[in-house]
Chains A and B, each alone.
Chain A
């Protein structure tokens, strides 16, 4: 879903850049609470893993493919603030080194692929974890649904940005329907990859999964020291 240069006009690109910069600044502060000397290297790895999986476009419909966005995965594994930063790092590397995603569109791309995916996915994930049965299955299912919804949410965000500053004159209803339609399909892939990865990490080290901290709370209480 990397927006190239020229889709969105300059004023809206600049505004999206300001939104992205503010969100990154907030995330840098918030990530401090999520990261320590154990989780910081893991968060770097999550970035690299998302970069790798983003290369794996899977077919979704005739002549169309999709790839992981990774916001849901990052937020659940290492926390929402760190998650925004993980995806932003990936987008920066892709834009600068791989010519993927326009440099003037970096703010747009961070806004819809890092911020919107993380906020939507993490809010939904937290809500679902509360109502689903406590345990690995509950967390994995919540991750599945959160990831699934985060992709069309990013498509809606793109449509909104296009409405404000699109350089072409395409009916918004058409853009909305086409974008959301195909991204629901891509969201299924996002959900499968996210649930599989979260499930695999929880199976071996639930203590290192930010979104599964509730699973280990009873264990933690026992070893708590004053």
Chain B
């Protein structure tokens, strides 16, 4: 039993995980304030050529985080930064949850 114990002993993932999370939080929480506000490639092409004539309002346009701003937070830097940090947290939680459920369990199942 338990033939599959090939986990290499090369150290934990924690240092890399923490470094990556800090990077994500800094990028979404602070650096995002300095991002270009110009329309992105699709938005620009759509506006230039009229692809967007029938655009509909977003169903979540009244979301408290719509357009990466936190509702009722006046300061633009804080409002956007907070939205970014919440987004990183939400994505991390959903992604980790999905991947943890999907992962291979340590038991003998020949692949």
**A positions within 8 Å CB-CB of B:** 1-7, 28, 31-33, 35-53, 55-60, 63-67, 82, 85-86, 89-90, 92-100, 102-103, 155, 158, 162, 166-168, 170, 174-175, 178-179, 182-183, 185-186, 201, 204-205, 207-208, 220, 223-225
Q: Which residues of the partner chain B approach A44 to less than 8 Å between Cβ atoms? A: 92-93, 95-100
Taking the closest CB of chain B, its distance from the CB of A91, in whole angstroms, is 10
B76 contacts A by Cβ under 8 Å: no
B110 contacts A by Cβ under 8 Å: no
Bound complex: CA of A48 vs CA of B103, how far in Å? Answer: 18
Asked if B92 contacts A55 (CB within 8 A), the reply is no
Contacting B35 at CB < 8 Å: which of A58, A90, A175, A186? A58
Bound complex: CA of A217 vs CA of B100, how far in Å? Answer: 26
- 11 A/B residue pairs, CB under 8 Å, sorted by A: A1-B40, A5-B59, A36-B106, A48-B91, A49-B24, A55-B84, A65-B38, A85-B95, A97-B60, A97-B63, A99-B60
| Closest partner residue, chain B, to A56 (CB atom) | B35
Q: Which residues of the partner chain A approach B8 to less than 8 Å between Cβ atoms? A: 207, 220, 223
Contacting A51 at CB < 8 Å: which of B11, B87, B100? B87
Taking the closest CB of chain A, its distance from the CB of B108, in whole angstroms, is 14
